[in-house]
Structure 1
Amino acid sequence: MPEQRVFIIRHGERCDFAFGKSGLWMNSFDSRGRYRPLDINLPRTLPKRPDGWQGFAADTPLTEIGYLQSKLTGRALRDNNIEINHVYCSPALRCIQTTIGLLKGMGLEKRLQFVVEPGLYEWMVWARYAKPCWIPPKDLKRLGYPVHENYVPCWTDKELRMNESMVDYYQRSFSSMNKILSDHPEGNILIVAHGASLETCTRQLVGGDIRSTDDFYYLLQNTPYLSCVELNSRDGLWRLAGSPIPSFSHTYNRTFDPLQLITKDLPLLKRERAEREQMRTTQ
């Protein structure tokens, strides 16, 4: 039996995390929902969604850098001769956009379709106040995304519970992986999901126990955007094989304030900036 390989990748940089409480992200919409990006790293355009522009607050898109990250990672997969036969992703918009970028980087955007599996969504505890409303596959198809419309998911959005425990999250990820693998006993599989997915989608497959909360969060905090891990199997036993591509490192580019070159009171500007930074880190 030929070796089967599974590649699990975290999505790229997300708008809400990149801009935090600066207001630049959601303030790019006016009161009528018209969008004008207030920063070059915000997406130039956004897809229409059935729940309106307000839905982006809970279902953030990628930044421009995030989309570039995904295309560069796709290029790295191509340059390392990684063959992909099946593609799955979380229903989060940032994961869908990352999937598109990866496919374009690999040159596969016209040859492969991807499947949206709600069971690959992140731990529901992080959804905070309300379950996100994702863009349905039929609407993604109308927008030109190469998505399978008639896939029967392992989990539906209605089955995802806001009070999900960490153990439940591991089990949901595990059951989703088992369904995907049973549907595709041959061929290499690409899965695009979340930071914790590299752990929760692999841990039980390789025979490991569910980790402690402290260990879980440690691994999550050390899984940057576009991290990639490989699983492979020759004899029905799955093994972790590290990453098939080099790591992706880049600097953090802070917001530039041109006022610093204009103001006559630079010490005051420095104090105000320090106070804002202190407030940001303590909230």
Structure 2
Amino acid sequence: MESSSGIMKQSLFVMRHGERMDNHDPQWAESAPRPWDPPLTDEGKLQAWRTGQKLRREGGNITRVFCSPFLRCVQTAAEVVTALCVTDDHANAPSSKDVVIDPSKVKVSIEIGLCEVMNPIAIRTPRIPPSPPNIITILDHSELEVILPAGTVDHSVEPIWTELPTWPETTEGAHNRYSNTFQELADKFPQENVLCVTHGEGVGVSVSALKEDTHVYAVDYCAYSHAQRTIFSCSTDGLDAGKFEVLTESGQSGIMYNLYASRFQRL
């Protein structure tokens, strides 16, 4: 957090996961027991590690991370959190393997509100049956938390969403969910800089919801937006804060957008 005369600046970063296995290997989903929940490829893990290093180098001072419960996002968060927590001696390591971290630097929690859009357009598998409605499941949180760096998981944080959205979810409904979840997570920790690891659609919303008449037309793997707001006061009496302003320019970090359309194109 930046501070000047008692007024603070809070940063909110929203990031897409790294390369997913089914995009790298189209045959993967045909035999996978959970075709809607692909892991990262090795390249995807490296993408996430390098992005975490970049965020650290750029001085974002991220201390709070939230991630979608889908496997690719948890694996992405694990790499990024490791990069943010790494000791100075390992800051330039080529990968997260065998690095030493200080887990007190960043705390991470799983947030269902950051999950993939729950409809067959976003979850691309022909093997999903039409019923029952709860056809998509996620791994148990205890299984996902094992993936995250030891000592970084914060179990004290109350989740905003406790269950997956009802299937099928409309794109508009998902956009509202993403926007509200970003805001609520930032409001929970107004004195910390927050990173949300989510899906391409969510990253697009993090720009389009804050910039009027903005059309996001591409979000690369591990692309991220950066928004910032002024915190005037924060106490038991409440939070007095300005609105978030997007600082990320089109193409700057893998998000491409223009200001000539109001309709967000699904990624």
Q: What TM-score does the superposition give when structure 1 sets the normalisation length?
A: 0.66
User: Which residue does the alignment assign to 2:38?
Assistant: 60
Distance 1:155 1:18, change over 3 A: same
Matched residue type, 2:62: I
Cα offsets for 1:150-177 (capped at 9, x unmatched): 533212224x022221211111112212
Q: How does 1:30-49 map to 2 (within 5 A)?
A: none
State the distance in 2 between where 1:114 and 1:242 align: 23
Alignment gaps of 5+ in structure 1: 30-52, 249-283
- What is the CA deviation profile of residues 17-76 of structure 1, one whole-angstrom value per residue up to 9, with x for unaligned ones? 1111xx3x357x7xxxxxxxxxxxxxxxxxxxxxxx713x22110000000001111111
Q: Partner of 1:240 in structure 2?
A: 246
Q: Which residue of 2 aligns with 1:120?
A: 114
Query: Which residue matches 1:15?
Result: 21
Q: How far apart are 1:7 and its partner, in Å? A: 0.8
- Indicate which of 3, 6, 12 corresponds to 2:9: 3
Flag the structure with higher helix content.
Answer: 1
What are the superposed Cα offsets for residues 107-146 of structure 1, whole Å, 9 maximum, x if unpaired? 3552323111111112112235364322222233455644
Considering only CA atoms, is the larger Rg found in Structure 1 or Structure 2?
A: 1
CA distance in 2, matches of 1:144, 1:90: 13
Aligned match for 1:163, one of 168, 171, 174: 168
Instruction: Judge which range, 222-231 or 136-145, deviates more.
Output: 136-145
Structure 2 equivalent of residue 230 of structure 1 = 226
> Counterpart in 1 of 2:158?
152
Measured in 1, the distance between the counterparts of 2:166 and 2:42 equals 32
Residue of structure 2 equivalent to 1:105: 83
Asked if the contact 1:113–1:148 (Cα under 8 Å) also holds between the matched residues in 2, the reply is: yes
Counterpart check, 1:201 vs 2:201: no
**SS of the residue aligned with 2:219?**
coil
Residue 158 of structure 2 aligns to which amino acid in structure 1?
V
Return the letter of the residue paired with 1:85: T
1:85 aligns with 2:63: yes
The answer for the alignment partner of 1:261 in structure 2 is none
TM-score with structure 2 setting the length: 0.70
What is the CA–CA distance in structure 2 between the aligned matches of 1:83 and 1:144, rounded to whole Å? 19
Tell me the equivalent position of 2:143: 139
Structure 1 Cα separation of the partners of residues 148 and 183 of structure 2: 29
Aligned to 2:190: 185
